[in-house]
Amino acid sequence: MHHIVIVGPTASGKTALSLRLATLLNGEIICADSRTVYKGMDIGTAKPTAQDQALVKHHCIDLVYPNEPFTVADFVIAAKQAEQTIRHSSKIPITVGGSGLFINGFIYDYSFVAPNPEVRKTYQSWSVTQLQQEIIKRNIALPVNSKNKRHLTLALERANRPTPTKKALPKDTMIIGIAPEKDVLLGNIEQRANQMIQEGVLEEVSHMYKTYNTSPALLGGVYRTVQPYLRGEQSIDATLQSIITYDKKLAKRQLTWFKRNPDITWFTSPQEALEWFMNHKQGTL
């Protein structure tokens, strides 16, 4: 085994496990997260800290600015390059993240079809109502934010593309999943939300909006959740609860995605996963 992949919901302890394994096994980390690729989006994405990055080399973070386009296909290219660099250094690549499509695209070597700019231009000229009607007519699932023109356009674009080609999991790769008990995960989410507030996430989001305005990268996650506070429409306590609620829903979606994958070996904590790995798998490296 020469590639370890760690997946699971937000606040499950993936980062702690990846750092521990990387330290023990002389590894380097590939971050598979759809938001940590953006420069300046640090606190709100729970990006590895400067201390973490000093301890273990991290790849695939801070790749682009928030106003620059970045796709799953772009990530797969960057991750493959990072993996090659790590292997050439005689180290073990450890991929960690909660972005399911980023993970799958990389480890199962998806082949992606490039977007059609003419089709995109056509959809962008339509109204929200027209996009919604087209999605319903074609029996396509409406996005969660069904009034967001960009999300509606992306839903139609995806429906127009062939399903990415998925290869079998490489024999030298193992996937570890962390799925804490519900009360433990909720406690972790609440603790991290409070920590984000204390570390200055509100100031970070304010700065990002002043710098990049309505860039697509800022339309989701914590960055969207705290907008009412920045507009003076919500208290700090209500904003904290909004962050917690968002992350709870995110964790549920992530678990639903990953639980469909039979290649994942599941554990309830980073500690349990580490003990199992050291007892059963370390000798296979």
- 203 in any annotated domain: yes
Tell me: pLDDT of 162 over 60: no
CATH code, domain with 227:
3.40.50.300
- What integer is the mean pLDDT of 257-277? 97
Whether residue 229 sits in one domain with residue 90:
yes
Higher-pLDDT residue of 119 and 40 is 40
Phi, psi of 282 (to 5 degrees): -60, -35
Neighbours of 4 (CB within 10 A): 25
Whether residue 141 sits in one domain with residue 69:
no
- 166 in any annotated domain: no
**Measured CA distances, 42 to 37, 66, 203, 208, 209 (Å):** 10, 12, 11, 11, 14
Copy the structure tokens of residue 254.
Answer: 């992530």
Q: Which residue has the tokens 């700065």?
A: 207
Whether residue 48 sits in one domain with residue 27:
yes
The pLDDT-based confidence of 73 (bands split at 50, 70, 90) is confident
Tell me: pLDDT of 282 over 80: no
How many structural domains are present in the chain?
A: 2
Whether residue 22 sits in one domain with residue 143:
no
Whether residue 97 sits in one domain with residue 21:
yes
Whether residue 118 sits in one domain with residue 185:
no
Q: Indicate the pTM of the whole model.
A: 0.85
Q: Which residue has the tokens 């992606």?
A: 112
Gyration radius (Cα) of the chain, Å = 19
Whether residue 184 sits in one domain with residue 74:
yes
- Burial degree of 27 (CB within 10 A; 0-12, 13-18, 19+): buried
CB 160 within 8 A of CB 119: yes
What does the DSSP 8-state code read for residue 159? H
Tell me: pLDDT of 167 over 70: yes
Whether residue 237 sits in one domain with residue 198:
yes
Tell me: pLDDT of 22 over 90: yes
- What integer is the mean pLDDT of 247-260? 96
Whether residue 34 sits in one domain with residue 80:
yes
The rounded percent of the chain whose pLDDT value lies above 70 is: 94
Whether residue 127 sits in one domain with residue 86:
no
The pLDDT-based confidence of 143 (bands split at 50, 70, 90) is confident
Higher-pLDDT residue of 202 and 69 is 202
pLDDT number for residue 262: 97
Whether residue 272 sits in one domain with residue 205:
yes
Quick one: which H or E segment has residue 97? strand 92-97
- Give the HSE-up count for residue 130: Cα atoms under 13 Å, Cβ half-sphere: 8
- What integer is the mean pLDDT of 57-70? 95
pLDDT number for residue 261: 96
End of a domain among 161, 192, 222?
161
What is the residue-averaged pLDDT of the chain?
A: 92
- 68 in any annotated domain: yes
For residue 224, give its domain range: 3-109+172-284
Whether residue 279 sits in one domain with residue 220:
yes
